[in-house]
Structure 1
């Protein structure tokens, strides 16, 4: 058996230490499935580096950081970086950008609004085609009719949301809740 001594500084400098101590990497970083959203994000980071696209690089690195944080969070032991879980992370990032745009607009910081808007467009490009408000309304009405909740009011909001089975990537929860409230209030007055 051939063995030799190697200093830790050599290992660190040659990046071998990280590959030797691979057990510190999150589970999803080592298991890539072609065609997954995570693979696409990793590819786009490399592409952004090659093209020196700093905006895209920062946004995607932020998403990958959020994914890593979610995988290490003690509250999410079953995080597997599936596309649906990543879509939820992207939706949270979109909500943060929208709140920032509102705040920057009120403060009349148009330069920051423009930057956040660019990031928002980039984040939206990773989501599937979104359901329109009319499509969500149609689904809500179907659920109300199917479960015979004709006299449903705001108090039945949770019941309807549980029975409503919409993809979070195509219909963000915040939008769905607003639509359900709107439908319920229109049924009470109508």
Structure 2
């Protein structure tokens, strides 16, 4: 089942369960996906699952930034709402890559690209992002590459 079809089903489920946090989060995600599809393909376009994962990660990142700001501003009740939304969004991401898989992927990408210094990091990151297929966020990838190339 595609992500958009899953979202439609989850909206129905959240409405029946009267789960307002999940309902609002899924609706906003569906809206963000639709905006991204219109931007990329026009009014009748649809995103494939790989593009949808990029949008989901972006929405999670927005909420993580909000959590940090709310905690800085001493507003824990608002931070908790954002954390609950992050938990809902994470259900739509593929299973995370284990640390061993990540290390092997980084090692292989560095060897394949011939990277030796941090100047070559862009080549390595491009390879990794294609191969990781949304199972690891960019920050984790860059941290691992930095450890290897320093």
Q: Same fold (TM over 0.5)?
A: yes
Moved more, 125-134 or 47-56: 125-134
* C-alpha separation in 2, matches of 1:117 and 1:163: 31
Asked if 1:155 is matched to 2:124, the reply is no
State the match for 1:90 in structure 2: 56
Distance 1:146 1:169, change over 3 A: closer
The answer (yes or no) to whether the contact 1:144–1:160 under 8 Å persists in 2 is yes
Q: Which runs of 5+ in 2 are unaligned?
A: none
Matched, 1:103 2:69: yes
Q: Deviations along 1:36-66, whole A, 9 cap, x unmatched?
A: 1111100100111111111011000001110
Q: Which structure is higher in RCO with an 8 Å CA cutoff and minimum separation 6?
A: 2
Larger radius of gyration: 1
Moved more, 126-135 or 152-161: 126-135
Distance in structure 1 (CA, Å) of the matches to 2:110 and 2:132: 18
TM-superposed deviation, 1:142: 1.6
When structure 1 is superposed on structure 2, of 35-44 and 160-169 the one drifting more is 160-169
TM-score for the superposition, normalised by structure 2: 0.88
CA-based RMSD of the aligned residues comes to 1.7
The aligned counterpart of 2:137 is 172
TM-score w.r.t. structure 1 length? 0.71
Whole-Å Cα distance in 2 between the matches of residues 153 and 84 of structure 1? Answer: 30
> C-alpha offsets along residues 77-118 of structure 1, whole Å, 9 cap, x if unaligned?
375321111111110011011111111111111101111111
Match of 1:32 in 2: none
CA contact (8 A) 1:154 1:181 kept: yes
- After TM superposition, the runs of 4+ consecutive aligned structure 1 residues lying more than 4 A away are none
The structure carrying a bigger helix percent of its residues is: 2
The separation in 1 between residues aligned to 2:127 and 2:2, in whole angstroms, is 28
SS of match in other structure, 1:67: helix
Q: CA deviation at 1:124?
A: 0.8
Q: Distance in 2 between matches of 1:41 and 1:158?
A: 34
